[in-house]
Structure 1
């Protein structure tokens, strides 16, 4: 008898071919820029400029509040013309609106930055630069990069396993900025003095591995790990296990098994902050999807409204039915083109009506596919059922908080049950219950 084995992943179509070989294009910013005070996990930044203030590229607009937070900087020079609440990806957030003067006058670099920065100063420069994880999670990077008294970090892992369909922003960053990425690794290695550095890439991006290998020549700690193109290969816990064989415990962190994991673009930003004294004001973003005439990989100034990028990519060849901040697996639906590119915007995906045609939900057929594809060994249907009957305590007992929200369960479900949506809602309810205690 042939038994089912746990796949811990799925194989969606990559849909990367239209931008895979397109070099990154640097573009100018539009006349009006929008800066949400929360582009990161944690407490929103506090605005420290007023309407009428003149700003430069790199001017601090919002100051981090608390340990888990991040600074927000202007990516253009010009004038603050409004401070208002707007709906963005993370909800209704206070936003600073800046009128771009087109001059791109820059603040001077951080005077402490350079080749001789002490290890103790590195996390402070990262925090000052406002760096948050650029793979989409947006966790404030300085928190990860502070040595802990409780245990030694012996392994650095660079996440270049760009498993979300459509996105090629990480791939192009690795190909075109490999030297800066490796220098960012050296900066963090100087803080922790690790034994090993892994760079995880998927087997559909081996060109990036070749370029990174060349950039790291003579740096013996680095090993390129070529992994199967499987979703969610780039999830933090999956990547740690596949690179090191270690398993992060339930409720644990990578540091619990001696690892630091960050996106390849984040390491480039670290290099720019620590060596060049530059804050995080731009990122590579893929604008793609069937409706787009000319999909591109763009170097976009943070705060650029999405609408302004559509014309740069030739407009639409057919009207999109759905627009996603991210991709079809973990992306969030965008209903307003004025929402800006933020620190975690890896790609914007436009889908046709045929690509998002939704089938009607039916009862669970007990196929167990959601269990087979869950990368963290949860039982998604049971958590979903618990949520739908209002048993939030049971959802927590079943491990809802360990869900990495990859979307595999919803993708594979033949009954079209909104498993991911229900698990997300159960996690929100669990957090609310804990706050109320």
Structure 2
């Protein structure tokens, strides 16, 4: 496993990781370069892939709908540049080869019409429709369609919204910089959420190591009675939904339940900003802030990135490499996915792109389990990770499911804390995939 995590310390339901935020936490957000070709996967969200509504040869503008949501759990996709559709075909994505729309940038930055007319009255239902139309999904990495999250069953009234600014991946600072530089817009985004779901309380969750964002956001909410900052311990994975709900509201989201079952909704800060832009400004989701960091990079940065920008373009914006990277990760080293191509584009859920040095990416040799129980202690959802891993390796999917494999949030703390270097998370991920496949085939 990664050498930088070889000495993790833990407490019940969490781990203390080695922080690497100092490389970018004080760097202001810069505009990323816009490449000549942008790639838009049709799978930038949980649920059914979006369906193309453009053809090769069509001209588009910033904010032109290029792929339409396909069912309730899906999301629209918009062009982030003006130009021409030159291909609809398979390209490398974070999830492997997948169908994409490729657009050639004309560098004119012409913008399409806004999502709604200036004189249009917006009631709560209309605001929900705008959020759906804008293609907004969970931008903390989960990519669940936001409109669905903001439409809980009528028999489950929501009384609490948690704005998730607890950015617990070791290198990630995109949400931190968003709070520091765009606090007023975030508060306006929270007001939009309150207009859609009137709640008694809104909490903004921030880890205690993010001193600057805590100070700025406290100042921003000075005149807001129903909004409160919750400064939380810096521990991984503090930003997981169930953890936040338990820490802030003392409510327990049981296995199989959703936050709405305990009258709570959790929305990431970047998602909140996108809601502000959609409902207040009429802009669909076409860009996001991404942290690009790691020892091999010459100049790690926080960047405003047009969705569809290949990662290789961000590497150039950071001055290239000062040393050979050992691993490139979409996300952080704890929950991120390894990448083998810089052609993979930035999607709606690309919070961070992390580069590890060769010595950091070295994989230690596996040894037999010593029954230390550290993976049980560190699990934030109180599972028995090694037991699930063992069941999978023995081919016993029924036992893996009974042990709660499907409830795993894939934070990776179990693998990183394991002194025997057993690929616990990898086994659980495979178990989940196999269990779901068997259910679909039944």
TM-score (norm 1): 0.97
The answer to whether residue 65 in structure 2 is matched with residue 55 in structure 1 is no
Match of 1:393 in 2: 398
Match of 1:193 in 2: 198
**Match runs of 1:5-44 below 5 Å:** 7-44=12-49
Q: Is the 8 A contact 2:31 2:303 kept in 1?
A: yes
In the alignment, the residues of structure 2 paired with residue 313 and residue 50 of structure 1 have an alpha-carbon distance, to the nearest angstrom, of: 34
CA apart distance, 1:148: 2.3
5+ long unaligned stretches in structure 2: 1-9
After TM superposition, the runs of 4+ consecutive aligned structure 1 residues lying more than 4 A away are: 112-116
Partner of 1:275, secondary structure, is helix
1:345 to 343, 347, 350: 350
CA apart distance, 1:69: 0.3
Match of 1:303 in 2: 308
The answer to whether residue 276 in structure 2 is matched with residue 232 in structure 1 is no
The answer to whether residue 78 in structure 2 is matched with residue 73 in structure 1 is yes
1:250 to 240, 255, 259: 255
In the alignment, the residues of structure 2 paired with residue 115 and residue 84 of structure 1 have an alpha-carbon distance, to the nearest angstrom, of: 38
Match of 2:378 in 1: 373
CA apart distance, 1:111: 2.2
Match of 1:145 in 2: 150
Partner of 2:189, secondary structure, is helix
Q: Is the 8 A contact 2:152 2:260 kept in 1?
A: no
Q: Is the 8 A contact 1:113 1:275 kept in 2?
A: no
**Match runs of 1:160-171 below 5 Å:** 160-171=165-176
Q: How many residues align?
A: 433
CA apart distance, 1:107: 0.6
Partner of 1:65, secondary structure, is coil
1:263 to 268, 274, 289: 268
Cα separation, partners in 2 of 1:434 and 1:22, compared to 1, 3 Å:
same
Match of 2:6 in 1: none
In the alignment, the residues of structure 2 paired with residue 367 and residue 247 of structure 1 have an alpha-carbon distance, to the nearest angstrom, of: 27
5+ long unaligned stretches in structure 1: none
In the alignment, the residues of structure 1 paired with residue 198 and residue 121 of structure 2 have an alpha-carbon distance, to the nearest angstrom, of: 16
CA apart distance, 1:11: 0.6
CA apart distance, 1:28: 3.4
In the alignment, the residues of structure 2 paired with residue 42 and residue 115 of structure 1 have an alpha-carbon distance, to the nearest angstrom, of: 31
Cα displacement string for residues 253-282 of structure 1 (whole angstroms, at most 9, x for unaligned residues): 000000010100100000100111000000
In the alignment, the residues of structure 1 paired with residue 438 and residue 119 of structure 2 have an alpha-carbon distance, to the nearest angstrom, of: 47
User: In angstroms, what is the RMSD of aligned CA positions?
Assistant: 1.2
Partner of 1:111, secondary structure, is coil
Q: Is the 8 A contact 2:221 2:228 kept in 1?
A: no
CA apart distance, 1:27: 2.7
